[in-house]
């Protein structure tokens, strides 16, 4: 190897350690680029540098970076983070190769991402759902999650709880309306999502929305609602940090995370946050299990996600969930990992999607009024419509509005998958265990597949849905590893939107603004500021 030859020659000629260090670095760089430029199936893409790859071109916003790369390199290119190769695709036919097969046995892209030491450090490589590479464990967890959050009984209870918390928020907003206070909508959606997801999952009432209202310090106006989860607010903040840590741990190599000043301290913060969340979840599961064990069999327990998981395959099984030959109760560790997925997947995406949706319907008054007309048609009234699980199937226009918002600006701009064997794209060989990102934002804003993609037009999902290019729009992914929480997420969003259009008129504070966001694994809107007016 070139490096070894140079070092030996230096020792023979002169024992100059400084020269050795410099030439060692130079030889490493030369060797790095020799391997890079002579590698077979090298895709178009930005030139990486040793150790860091393309981190300097990417910066803090991976969404903006991959969009910029697409403009320069097209629908199939590569970039590097450290020495790790990442491939990006932005064409339906390429996306079909990644997402098209629903069978676990037949798909090559069964892995969520390539192997990552950082993912293992977060405890996600062999547990849970999202990044679990143990297919047997992943499949069991996924089926438990889907069955526990998709049953009509669970969804009916979720609608009741969501409606109750929405009504509480709207009472706060009516007070804010009288006080002339602007609604910082994204903050409220984060609080709403927290209250709904945590309370539905554990049965422990969260009070994030009440705390947010009380923080406004309106004279003589305080919410009496109290949360019963001692560390609830800290836990919620920690979940958002945990979600940020996923992409960080996947992209940065252990060497960079553990040795580069600044990055090293971030790495430590994320790992400490991981430990705190795990301890908190283990305590919750342990306490709830003891509570259920001490409850007589003839007394019912609530249909929360946590209770469903604890009672599965026991004598008081609530939903009789069946997972093939799996007939034993879940362990505390298995329940903890699934519960963590509920929070990490449910808190960020649904809340942020609702913020995007509300931004666009505030900009398009005609869309807002059509949503209201649909509510009136389905329920016969705008005064406290009777929301039922069965009625949600009839909310076609509201569903189209949600999809159009996701199309224009997806909360997740790209989703990753990795194959278990080599795959060919346009004559290029993509090695097994290479992360392949599908750029959902580029796909769904391409005029080849969507007429006038810059125009917010929900009708396209009513009139043109059948003619849409397959795999040009993947709001929840597709195939074996599609989003397991889709049904629950849609129920939450429809509940809120029905309540919103029935109760208020809304206006953007800055009517000419364009959506702004912060990238933190998911896209988080930061400028959805609203004037709220009670509907007359």
The token duo for 410 is 């997806």
> Do 220 and 238 form a contact (C-beta atoms < 8 A)?
no
Q: Is residue 330 part of a domain?
A: yes
- What distance in Å separates the CA atoms of residue 450 and residue 442, rounded to the nearest whole number? 11
Q: Which of 269, 494, 243, 274 is nearest to 348 (CA)?
A: 243
pTM score above 0.95 = no
- What distance in Å separates the CA atoms of residue 66 and residue 5, rounded to the nearest whole number? 39
Q: Is residue 133 part of a domain?
A: no
The token duo for 367 is 């869309």
CATH of the domain at 369: 1.10.630.10
Domain count for the chain, please give it: 1
Report mean pLDDT in 10-residue bins for the chain, 536 residues: 56 59 70 74 90 86 91 95 90 92 81 90 87 86 81 87 94 95 93 89 87 91 82 81 87 86 92 93 91 86 83 71 69 87 83 95 96 97 93 96 96 90 93 94 94 94 81 87 87 96 95 87 89 92
Render 164-216 in DSSP notation, one character per residue: HHHHHHHHHHHHHHHHT--EEHHHHHHHHHHHHHHHHHHSPPP-HHHHHHHTT
- What distance in Å separates the CA atoms of residue 133 and residue 150, rounded to the nearest whole number? 24
Q: Is residue 209 part of a domain?
A: yes
- What distance in Å separates the CA atoms of residue 272 and residue 279, rounded to the nearest whole number? 11
Q: Is 448 exposed, middle or buried (0-12, 13-18, 19+ CB in 10 A)?
A: exposed
- What distance in Å separates the CA atoms of residue 525 and residue 492, rounded to the nearest whole number? 18
> Do 304 and 203 form a contact (C-beta atoms < 8 A)?
yes
Instruction: Output the pLDDT for position 317.
Output: 67
Render 70-120 in DSSP notation, one character per residue: HHHH-SEEEEEETTEEEEEE-SHHHHHHHH----TTT-S--BSSS--HHHH
The token duo for 110 is 């069964």
Q: How many residues does the chain have?
A: 536
Q: Is residue 11 part of a domain?
A: no
Q: Is residue 252 part of a domain?
A: yes
Q: Is residue 51 part of a domain?
A: no
The token duo for 13 is 């000629």
How far, rounded to the nearest angstrom, does the alpha carbon of residue 456 sit from its chain's CA centroid?
A: 23
Domain membership of residue 268 as a residue range: 144-534
- CA 411, 414, 418, 423 torsion-angle sign: positive
Q: What is the dihedral of CA 395, 396, 402, 404, to 10 degrees?
A: -160
Q: Which of 109, 149, 210, 89 is nearest to 345 (CA)?
A: 149
- Residues with Cβ within 8 Å of residue 19, at least 6 apart in sequence: 10
Other Cβ atoms less than 10 A from the Cβ of 159: the count is 20
For 386-424, letters b (16+ CB in 10 Å) and e give: ebebebbeebebbbbbbbbbbbbbbbbbbbbbbbeeebe
- Residues with Cβ within 8 Å of residue 38, at least 6 apart in sequence: none
Q: Beta partners for 488?
A: none
- What distance in Å separates the CA atoms of residue 341 and residue 326, rounded to the nearest whole number? 20
How far, rounded to the nearest angstrom, does the alpha carbon of residue 140 sit from its chain's CA centroid?
A: 21
Instruction: Output the pLDDT for position 35.
Output: 73
Q: 483 a known binding residue?
A: yes
- What distance in Å separates the CA atoms of residue 49 and residue 36, rounded to the nearest whole number? 10
Q: Which of 80, 108, 38, 76 is nearest to 427 (CA)?
A: 76
Q: Is residue 98 part of a domain?
A: no
Q: Is residue 267 part of a domain?
A: yes
Other Cβ atoms less than 10 A from the Cβ of 466: the count is 5
Q: Beta partners for 425?
A: 428
Instruction: Output the pLDDT for position 363.
Output: 95
């Amino acid at each position: 190897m070139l490096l070894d030859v140079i070092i030996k020659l230096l020792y023979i000629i002169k024992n100059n350690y400084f020269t050795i260090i410099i030439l060692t670095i130079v030889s490493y760089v030369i060797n790095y680029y020799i391997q890079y430029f002579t590698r077979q199936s090298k895709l178009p893409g930005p030139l990486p540098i040793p150790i860091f790859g393309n981190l300097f071109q990417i910066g803090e916003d991976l969404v903006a970076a991959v969009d910029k790369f697409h403009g320069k390199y097209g629908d199939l290119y590569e970039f590097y983070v450290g020495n790790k190769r990442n491939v990006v695709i932005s064409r339906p036919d390429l996306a079909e190769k990644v997402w098209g097969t629903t069978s676990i046995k037949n798909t090559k892209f069964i892995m969520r991402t390539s192997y990552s030491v950082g993912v293992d450090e977060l405890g996600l490589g062999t547990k849970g759902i999202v990044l679990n590479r143990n297919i047997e464990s992943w499949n069991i967890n996924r089926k438990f999650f889907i069955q526990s959050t998709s049953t009509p009984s669970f969804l009916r209870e979720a609608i009741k709880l969501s409606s109750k918390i929405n009504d509480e928020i709207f009472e706060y907003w009516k007070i804010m309306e009288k006080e002339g206070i602007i609604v910082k909508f994204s903050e409220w959606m984060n609080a709403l999502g927290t209250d709904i997801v945590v309370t539905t999952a554990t049965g422990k009432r969260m009070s994030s929305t009440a705390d947010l209202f009380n923080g406004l310090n309106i004279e003589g106006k305080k919410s009496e609602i109290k949360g019963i989860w001692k560390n609830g607010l800290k836990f919620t903040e920690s979940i958002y940090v945990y979600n940020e840590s996923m992409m960080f741990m996947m992209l940065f190599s252990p060497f960079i995370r553990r040795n580069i000043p600044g990055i090293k301290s971030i790495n430590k913060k994320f790992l400490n946050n991981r430990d705190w969340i795990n301890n908190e979840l283990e305590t919750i599961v342990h306490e709830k299990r003891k509570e259920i064990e001490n409850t007589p069999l003839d007394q019912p327990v609530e249909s929360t996600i946590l209770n469903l998981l604890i009672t599965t395959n026991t004598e008081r099984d609530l939903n009789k969930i069946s997972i093939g030959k799996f007939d034993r109760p879940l362990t505390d560790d298995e329940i903890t990992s699934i519960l963590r997925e509920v929070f990490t997947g449910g808190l960020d995406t649904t809340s942020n999607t609702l913020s995007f949706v509300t931004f666009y319907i505030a900009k398009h008054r005609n869309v807002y009024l059509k949503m209201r007309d649909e509510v009136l048609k389905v329920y016969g009234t705008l005064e406290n419509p009777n929301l039922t699980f069965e009625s949600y199937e009839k909310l076609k226009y509201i569903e189209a509005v949600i999809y159009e918002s996701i199309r224009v600006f997806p909360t997740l701009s790209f989703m990753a998958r990795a194959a278990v064997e080599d795959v060919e794209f346009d004559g290029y060989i993509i090695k097994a265990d290479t992360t392949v990102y599908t750029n959902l934002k580029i796909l769904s804003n391409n005029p080849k597949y969507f007429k006038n993609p810059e125009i917010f037009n929900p009708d396209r999902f009513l009139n043109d849905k059948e003619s849409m290019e397959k795999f040009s729009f993947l709001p929840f992914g597709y195939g074996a590893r599609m989003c397991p929480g889709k049904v629950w997420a849609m129920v939450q969003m429809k509940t809120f939107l029905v309540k919103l259009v029935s109760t208020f008129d809304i206006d953007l504070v800055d009517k000419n603004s364009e959506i702004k966001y912060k990238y933190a694994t998911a896209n988080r809107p930061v400028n959805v500021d609203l004037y709220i007016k009670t509907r007359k």
